[in-house]
Structure 1
Amino acid sequence: MDSFCDLEVDVNGEAVFMVDKKRISSFSGRLSHLFGKSASSGSSFKVIFHDFPGGAETFELVARFCYNNGSIEISPTNLSFLHSAAYFMEMSRSVSGTENLIELTEKSLEEISYWTWSDLLLALKQNQNQNMPEDVKTASVVQKCLDTLVGRLAVASETSPCPSTSSPESFGFRISCDSRSTESLKTSCSRANWWFEDLSVLNQNLVELAVKNMVSRKLDHGMIGRFLLHYQKLKFISAQSDEKCRIIEMVVSNLCSLDHWSVSFKNLMGLLRILLNLNVSKCTRSRLEGIIGLRMDEATLDSLLVPSPHGMNYLYDVNLVLRLLKSFLGGGLPKVSNDRIIRVSHLLDSYLAEVAPDPCLKPSKFIALATALPDSSRDSYDEMYHAMDMYLEVHTDLTEEETFNICSALNYEKLSAEACVHLSKNAKFPSSSTVQALLSQQTKLKSLLHDANNPKSCSSSPGTGGGARSRKDESSQQIVLYAGKFDVMTENENIRAHLQGMQCRVTELEKVCQKMQTQVAKMMRSKSSNNMNPRSLPRFCS
């Protein structure tokens, strides 16, 4: 059949085609409506397309379809392009009883579930490499490919936990469209994450769609999390700074959709360290810090020692730790178990000791760290006291008010006797701190004296007399220690005299208790010889 070229088609500025206007119009409703009755005339026309799906390469396929009387080979590499182009050109017309292009592409879409693993990846790669416009038709092809791809992963994970049978070979399709050695393929098949490398060829948009599909199909969140981290590491090798930001924002966004305990704390902190060196959005950083903060009790001291941001003169990023602590307590204390809070308090005290020698650390930041957790989280304030001691030793230029504010974070009632002795001799601490320590120790002594005067403090039975004496000896030793501490406080003679009096009283009580224990022992010996009923024995200490 003779034909001549009377239509010039400029496709997206990529190429210009000279085609038979009548032949093309007979298949394309769009061009037929455009030319009207002039489609059969001998006049020449020119059409310019600015957003033709798939560009010049796809238009050439459409033209071949028209010149071959509605015959074309549809493959995974061109299906999405032809499908979008068919609707773009309104190719629902049939010539000489042949199927139109829309019908052919729709039938091919129904057969996607029979494609090989390699074909599915090829189709997805073609879509992302051609930068096709995001129209409904293109999206439907991409979604079908992803649904099939993820569906096979879901079936593999459900039907066989064994790595050898959880590979794509068990479904009759190849592992990847990439050219890799046979040894590499065998190694990949032997792992449960055999598909990580294959899906890493996809761009960020397609990976995000794939992950959402995996979550909806309830694939293991731990496996999904490991894939996202693998994708980030692999793409970072050759990515520029801007692209790294987009990649890590996508990864963090999808990690937030997973169970917060699906990724190890160490990996999350590693991701955060990378993120802090990039110009990512504040929202992305906050979301990742929120996940990490919820698991603050899993942190180690090394993981928290993150260098300060560029341009800051202090050594470690204290603001980061404060944000993590805020996230940890964000759900409210009733939602955080006591054991977890105690672990975090020990960690924070160690962190305080580590950052205290930093000469650039401001008093306000040190105080913020010291008061970040509630008082109930600590049974002892000894570690915090030693951290304060180091901080005051380095920061000798603090004002009296700043020093007072720092020391006010201490709970003197939870300081050990040893710490109080050290504090009483510590000239770096203000006199008000010494007085508070004295008062708290006086309260403890009164409590000890009350216990000593309480008959229940002794043994309730002969068998426990030794334990009672041990507790009394311990109490006496503590009081002697307190008294020794207060001897150095010459400015408070009244308290020292009072302590000495209480020490004498405790000594007298010890003698009385010892006599009572001797009597109990004699009665026990008498009981064993006379077979007396134990209930008839008097109870001296109960």
Structure 2
Amino acid sequence: MEGCCNLEVDVNGEETFMVDKTIVTQYSSKLAKIFGKSSGANGKLKVIFHDFPGGAEGFELMLRFCYNNGKSNITPSNLLLAHCAAEYMEMNESVTNVSNLLDQTEKSLQGINFWTWSEILIGLKQCQNLLVDDSCVMLEKCLDTIVGRLVLASEASPCPSTCSNDSSSGIRFSCDSKSTESIKTNFARSTWWFEDLLFLTPLVVAMLVKSMLSSKMDHHVISRFLLYYQKAKFSTAMTDEKCKIIEMVIDMHYIMDRSSVSLKTLFGILRVTLCLNISKCGRNKLENMIGFQLDQVTLDNLLVPSPYGINYLYDVNLVLRFLKAFLRQGTGAVAPIRMKKVASLIDLYIAEIAPDPCLKTSKFLALATSIPDFARDSCDELYHAMDMYLEVHTQLSQEEKLKICCGLNYEKLSPQACLHLSKNKKFPSKSAVQALISEQSKLKNLLHATTTPISTPYNESLCGSSSASQKGKKDKTSEQLVLYAGNFDIQPDNEKLRAHLQGMQWRVMELEKICRKMQTQMAKMTKSKASGHSYAKSLPKLCS
């Protein structure tokens, strides 16, 4: 470098430069303000910069501009570095009427649309490496340019959304092998850029994805890119870096169209998070996304092992959070068929976890009672799960057993389940009585409804006007109904009803016998209670 080296410049402690103060100050308003209009002392001066953008490389690029009479060779590889250095040194308002570096960089940036793909990536790398505010403008321009190129490429070679519904579920086609191969090739063309953008940090990827979403890019392709990025980065990332990556992946999926994010993808992300301590916010977003689609989940999906330190075999709390997220949509906003699917799924899950000896009663009951009653057409599966739970947890008190039975709607038990429950010694006697009463009521209603169209003599026998006669025959109502059922005037094409009624006769007789025994026991208990003995603790109120 020519001239008198009378100025020492320490750049970020990386390197020291000896420069001509006069040459540099005529292009830099920052230095001109420091030294003023006077030429200064004859001795050497020293300036220390602690936060010069780009460090020694950026300062040297700025010097080349100054010592080359305000001329520079601006390329995509040094544009951002030169721009940030010019901004820092205030090279937009020179002391004399000379060319300024900031104007030159801004003019070059206007031609970014004409850059090649490689040149854009180089500029993007520099934007990412320079942690200064000035890089944000160029960073956004680089990202917008990249997205614009990808949108044009996808329009030129579109990828059917059916190909990208699921990253690993395979592709289904109804056309010939040539068409299949063509679609696969098109899909491969839509993902050619995945590898090129792996150098980006999670923060910049988030900015890129938001730009993609604003440009209406295919959400399925974006999701595939995020998963590709996460898998590639995890191979070399430390634990903290993995947390940042997976949280970014969750956040970006959360703002995407939910229909474009498959459950397989979400559960894949969930498995990754099991061994990572990600933020509570990120975990809640992931669980909400899964919970909103709970009616499409399978039992295998829900069988997630419990976190370290919890004795349960499976993570029951996770399933409860899924269920809470699903119900948060409101029963009015959820189609009945979806609610019934979730109820069936939860009943299967309860039956699966019931044999776990470490499962607390509160967790079992929370699952059993979390589903609205209208969502269950039958409670047989729930009863089956309760039966298994009581078989394993033999140490439960009567009060705890009754609490469990609170989740059971006896009206929705089949006759077989009611009969089984009435003889099941694992259940409290109160539950057995409730099941018998419920089944007896259902049978009477069914038979009464069936006898309605029968001829007058039978109607008079069943529905006599004498209240005294009805009272005397109260205990024999079911037996009478079954006896009369044998005389029904049933049409020949309704043999199924005849067989059903005949099959019900023995069940009614059996239930009546058991019910009478229970009623006798209840009468004794009531009489004993009136004598001063209290059964309040052993016999709490029945749960209906």
Query: Shorter-chain TM-score: which interval?
Result: 0.7 to 0.9
| Per-residue deviation, 1:472 | 3.4
In the alignment, the residues of structure 2 paired with residue 239 and residue 304 of structure 1 have an alpha-carbon distance, to the nearest angstrom, of: 29
Contact 1:356 1:366 in 2 (8 A): yes
In the alignment, the residues of structure 1 paired with residue 17 and residue 504 of structure 2 have an alpha-carbon distance, to the nearest angstrom, of: 99
Contact 1:188 1:194 in 2 (8 A): no
| Per-residue deviation, 1:483 | 2.7
| Per-residue deviation, 1:95 | 9.1
Q: Tell me which moved more, 86-95 or 255-264.
A: 86-95
C-alpha distance after superposition, 1:5-30 (max 9, x if no partner): 11111111111111111111011011
**Change beyond 3 A, Cα 1:162–1:472:** closer
Residue 119 of structure 1 aligns to which amino acid in structure 2?
E
1:157 corresponds in structure 2 to 154
Following superposition of structure 1 onto structure 2, how do residues 282-293 of structure 1 map, counting pairs within 5 Å?
282-293=280-291
Contact 1:5 1:18 in 2 (8 A): yes
1:313 corresponds in structure 2 to 311
Contact 1:51 1:133 in 2 (8 A): no
Residue 281 of structure 1 aligns to which amino acid in structure 2?
S
1:517 corresponds in structure 2 to none
**Change beyond 3 A, Cα 1:156–1:456:** farther
Residue 329 of structure 2 aligns to which amino acid in structure 1?
G
Following superposition of structure 1 onto structure 2, how do residues 103-182 of structure 1 map, counting pairs within 5 Å?
103-128=103-128, 130=129, 132-135=130-133, 137-161=134-158
In the alignment, the residues of structure 1 paired with residue 257 and residue 247 of structure 2 have an alpha-carbon distance, to the nearest angstrom, of: 18
**Change beyond 3 A, Cα 1:98–1:189:** farther
Contact 1:445 1:479 in 2 (8 A): no
2:486 corresponds in structure 1 to none
| Per-residue deviation, 1:3 | 0.5
Residue 379 of structure 1 aligns to which amino acid in structure 2?
D
Contact 1:356 1:391 in 2 (8 A): yes
Q: Tell me which moved more, 19-28 or 271-280.
A: 271-280
2:373 to 363, 369, 375: 375
Contact 1:417 1:482 in 2 (8 A): no
Tell me how large the CA RMSD over aligned residues is: 2.3
Residue 49 of structure 1 aligns to which amino acid in structure 2?
F
| Per-residue deviation, 1:452 | 2.0
| Per-residue deviation, 1:373 | 0.5
Contact 1:318 1:365 in 2 (8 A): yes
In the alignment, the residues of structure 2 paired with residue 43 and residue 54 of structure 1 have an alpha-carbon distance, to the nearest angstrom, of: 29
Tell whether 2:34 aligns with 1:37: no
Partner of 1:290: helix, strand, or coil?
helix
2:322 to 317, 321, 324: 324
Tell whether 2:479 aligns with 1:481: no
Unaligned segments of structure 1, at least 5 residues = 164-185, 458-463, 496-542
In the alignment, the residues of structure 2 paired with residue 331 and residue 188 of structure 1 have an alpha-carbon distance, to the nearest angstrom, of: 38
Tell whether 2:417 aligns with 1:391: no
1:335 to 329, 333, 337: 333
**Change beyond 3 A, Cα 1:162–1:470:** closer
Following superposition of structure 1 onto structure 2, how do residues 240-255 of structure 1 map, counting pairs within 5 Å?
240-255=238-253
Contact 2:354 2:385 in 1 (8 A): yes
In the alignment, the residues of structure 2 paired with residue 327 and residue 376 of structure 1 have an alpha-carbon distance, to the nearest angstrom, of: 19
Following superposition of structure 1 onto structure 2, how do residues 410-425 of structure 1 map, counting pairs within 5 Å?
410-425=408-423
| Per-residue deviation, 1:273 | 2.2
1:506 corresponds in structure 2 to none
Partner of 1:246: helix, strand, or coil?
helix
C-alpha distance after superposition, 1:420-441 (max 9, x if no partner): 1211221100000011101111
2:7 corresponds in structure 1 to 7
| Per-residue deviation, 1:40 | 5.9
1:66 corresponds in structure 2 to 66
Contact 2:9 2:47 in 1 (8 A): yes
Residue 294 of structure 1 aligns to which amino acid in structure 2?
F
Residue 151 of structure 2 aligns to which amino acid in structure 1?
A
1:197 to 186, 195, 198: 195
| Per-residue deviation, 1:443 | 1.2
1:101 corresponds in structure 2 to 101
Partner of 2:216: helix, strand, or coil?
coil
In the alignment, the residues of structure 2 paired with residue 292 and residue 72 of structure 1 have an alpha-carbon distance, to the nearest angstrom, of: 55
Partner of 1:278: helix, strand, or coil?
coil
Residue 402 of structure 2 aligns to which amino acid in structure 1?
F
**Change beyond 3 A, Cα 1:351–1:189:** closer
1:280 corresponds in structure 2 to 278
With structure 1 as the length reference, what TM-score do the two structures score?
A: 0.81
2:471 corresponds in structure 1 to none
**Change beyond 3 A, Cα 1:493–1:397:** closer
In the alignment, the residues of structure 2 paired with residue 119 and residue 478 of structure 1 have an alpha-carbon distance, to the nearest angstrom, of: 83
2:255 corresponds in structure 1 to 257
Contact 2:433 2:518 in 1 (8 A): no
Tell whether 2:466 aligns with 1:468: no
In the alignment, the residues of structure 1 paired with residue 416 and residue 298 of structure 2 have an alpha-carbon distance, to the nearest angstrom, of: 28
Contact 2:29 2:94 in 1 (8 A): no
**Change beyond 3 A, Cα 1:194–1:272:** same
**Change beyond 3 A, Cα 1:20–1:493:** closer
With structure 2 as the length reference, what TM-score do the two structures score?
A: 0.81
Partner of 2:332: helix, strand, or coil?
helix
1:26 corresponds in structure 2 to 26
**Change beyond 3 A, Cα 1:39–1:225:** farther
Percent identical among aligned pairs is 55
Partner of 2:9: helix, strand, or coil?
strand
| Per-residue deviation, 1:42 | 2.8
In the alignment, the residues of structure 2 paired with residue 288 and residue 190 of structure 1 have an alpha-carbon distance, to the nearest angstrom, of: 28
In the alignment, the residues of structure 1 paired with residue 199 and residue 152 of structure 2 have an alpha-carbon distance, to the nearest angstrom, of: 22
Partner of 1:477: helix, strand, or coil?
helix
C-alpha distance after superposition, 1:166-222 (max 9, x if no partner): xxxxxxxxxxxxxxxxxxxx9899432112222222111111110010111111112
1:521 corresponds in structure 2 to none
1:499 corresponds in structure 2 to none
In the alignment, the residues of structure 1 paired with residue 37 and residue 61 of structure 2 have an alpha-carbon distance, to the nearest angstrom, of: 26
In the alignment, the residues of structure 1 paired with residue 433 and residue 519 of structure 2 have an alpha-carbon distance, to the nearest angstrom, of: 13
Contact 1:226 1:263 in 2 (8 A): no
1:179 corresponds in structure 2 to none
Unaligned segments of structure 2, at least 5 residues = 161-183, 456-489, 522-544
In the alignment, the residues of structure 2 paired with residue 343 and residue 93 of structure 1 have an alpha-carbon distance, to the nearest angstrom, of: 70
1:228 corresponds in structure 2 to 226
| Per-residue deviation, 1:41 | 5.0
| Per-residue deviation, 1:115 | 0.7
